[in-house]
Structure 1
């Protein structure tokens, strides 16, 4: 007689539809030209998978797309690019004065019906940079950031329009801070007058004698690039829907 087989237990999903939110962190693929950064937030409802899209924003010294020093994915987040003593030394040039150009790269990506825009706010105070004249430009490439750059000054950009897209290729833009330091000279002028009565033999009332001397001294402001405070360019991004102002 054949032994009876055990019946498989019945399996059943609960009546409610299972909903899960899965966030996959940023993964960099192909870091060379046309580097791609895939970042997805997917919503699962039962067996259906609905891609929601993502926004990515990066700031740093020029590098391959997707490899900058810092990235953000939270709408409204700010990223600061800092600089200070190293650049101040070249700017000060031993007190003789000089110029420096500081390039900064921005990576941007926004999927779906969301555009991406950002603003740039320089914070420069004290030290050699504080005593310099400076301007901030948006340039075509990192190589275009030189001390001779003289394009239109800018403080904002919209690298991604709000038209629908599923691209995962980063858009890279470049900024250039150009600073020039000229030694500040100060001149101090002094004058002294002396009046005296000479002793002249056989004269009872000799005339007074007067003399005057003037001189001036020129001095230069002395700064220490090694004690330069940190300065920054703060980039703040936001996303916007069609019809909204970038």
Structure 2
């Protein structure tokens, strides 16, 4: 439509984080479930070198955990240096008011939800609760458990304070597992809402995760916009 414009919403670091984070969560879940309760083994007796599924699962899980952590730290950095769509400010009354109307919108209730070019406030809030806070929990508990057998190393000492927040090893594992399943719940809701928005608003929400550009009404972005 002639009143629509293309807006550069998701910068490359944000898009890279999105896909790296999604792939990492899936790998961590699959390997984590296997580590917690192995569901497969060698079909025939052979050397452990060839059928060491647990060893490979642990290796992939730990390597992916480092990638997941690095991507998360870079995304937190981008919250400060990225464009306005990469940032989050919950310390405003209008944010919570818009969140309330967005909830009513998703529940198909009468609402006054304005149009948002980037994430709507409910999406931002869910990211910070489920994704970012969840990331902090799984990173801290995960690295503590990883380095726990090596108590004298500098890495173990870096995370020695974590039990004061999350409790003993058993409680910490519970935090780790429950948060991981919360990630899966978040992913299901996130995918549903992304496709719902893309269908209802016809703004290219899904394709923007690859290109960075969304198609928005000119009045929603003002006179200055990225073409």
TM-score under structure 1 length normalisation: 0.21
Bigger Rg, structure 1 or 2:
1
Using CA pairs under 8 Å that are at least 6 residues apart, name the structure with larger relative contact order, 1 or 2: 2
The structure with the largest strand share of the pair is: 1
Q: State the TM-score, normalizing by the size of structure 2.
A: 0.22
Q: Which has the higher helix share?
A: 2
